[in-house]
Amino acid sequence: MRLLSVGSVAFDAIETPFGKTDKIVGGAGTFISLSASFFVKDQGIVSVVGDDFPAETLSYMQLKGIDTKGIQIKHGEKTFFWSGKYHNDMNSRDTLITELNVLEDFDPIIPESYTNVEYLMLGNLSPHVQRNVIERLPVRPKLIAMDTMNFWMDIAMDELKKTMCLVDVLIINDEEARQLSGEYSLVRAAKIIREMGPRILIIKKGEHGALLFHGENIFFAPALPLEEVFDPTGAGDTFAGGFMGYIASTDDTSYENMKRAIIAGSALASFCVEKFGTERLTEIHTSDLNLRIHQFIQLTNFEMNLL
């Protein structure tokens, strides 16, 4: 198996200045695997849902080449539910409700057919569960990436540090990088965070793009300037899924390829925010993605003679 993702498969209820949804399908694992499916045809997901989760969504994921054997279905229990409300600037949000439900005592069980996985993407979950997955794989994948959030820094910093030691790539946003390092400068923050374990660090800056710290190099990718941002939920997960999906499909972990993977992730994230939840990701095709990648190339390409 090329890629294994671990993360929540959930119901979300979202409120933005543009509208409001009832319970729709969301979850970090859902966004990651759908995004990666644009590149990888051989991927699996480890997660858990209740028996209230729609069978059609699981069928749709299978149609996209995602093996859903690793999603445990807990009978008589409810799926994880998260609700959030965005402020007018669409950059910040308040969490209104978090009902852990089946995630409360999630024990990630890895199906036999997943154990030879080459690339691992650990979506935002308890660092203890993330570490369990790494330790349950008999052979270490070629590259392990993880996402996390301030919530885990607040309540489980020691666990988080233990898990961070085991991964190659950490993907977090600027606010989280500052909290984790205690440094405002992102360059200084990156140095401190990389001393904690991950040799590669990606700092997402929302509508201001993303930074890649790799060896002595720093690469910056902008976000595509969009006329309308409708719902940013899942953009970070979509970015991570696109990044790891691209790396896994090209089987190349070099710095040059990671730059391309960042653009792939950014292009997919730019679609994600155009509609509520996963809707836009289910509408687009490879041709749409190619057009957008081309726009990214145009956006950053220039020639200049040195003085």
Cα–Cα distance for residue pair 145/247, rounded to 1 Å: 11
Pick 141 or 277: Cβ nearer ligand AMP = 277
CB of 236 to ligand AMP, least distance (A): 3
CB of 209 to ligand AMP, least distance (A): 16
Report the residue from 3, 4, 28, 122 that binds ligand AMP according to the rule CB under 6 A: 28
Residue of closest CB approach to ligand AMP: 26
Residue found under tokens 């089987």: 251
Query: Where in 40-99 is the site for ligand AMP (CB under 6 A)?
Result: 82, 98
Query: Where in 199-238 is the site for ligand AMP (CB under 6 A)?
Result: 233-237
Report the residue from 3, 4, 6, 8 that binds ligand AMP according to the rule CB under 6 A: 8
Query: Where in 98-127 is the site for ligand AMP (CB under 6 A)?
Result: 98, 124-125
CB of 149 to ligand AMP, least distance (A): 7
Report the residue from 4, 6, 10, 160 that binds ligand AMP according to the rule CB under 6 A: 10
Find out whether 10 and 30 touch, Cβ atoms under 8 Å: yes
How does strand 66-67 pair with strand 10-16?
unpaired
Q: In angstroms, what CA-CA distances link 116 with 1, 4, 5, 147, 169? A: 6, 10, 13, 22, 20
Cα–Cα distance for residue pair 226/57, rounded to 1 Å: 28
Q: In angstroms, what CA-CA distances link 248 with 5, 68, 251, 258, 284? A: 12, 18, 5, 11, 21
CB of 211 to ligand AMP, least distance (A): 17
Find out whether 212 and 221 touch, Cβ atoms under 8 Å: yes
Query: Where in 245-304 is the site for ligand AMP (CB under 6 A)?
Result: none
CB of 88 to ligand AMP, least distance (A): 17
Return the exposure string of 15-34: e unless at least 16 CB atoms fall within 10 Å of the residue's CB, then b: bbeeeebeebbbbbbbbbbb
Element (H, E) at 219: strand 217-221
Cα–Cα distance for residue pair 184/302, rounded to 1 Å: 31
Pick 42 or 159: Cβ nearer ligand AMP = 159
Pick 23 or 142: Cβ nearer ligand AMP = 23
Query: Where in 161-180 is the site for ligand AMP (CB under 6 A)?
Result: none
Report the residue from 3, 16, 27, 33 that binds ligand AMP according to the rule CB under 6 A: 27
Pick 181 or 233: Cβ nearer ligand AMP = 233
Q: How many residues bind ligand AMP (CB under 6 A)?
A: 16
CB of 118 to ligand AMP, least distance (A): 24
Number of Cβ atoms within 10 Å of the Cβ of 104: 10
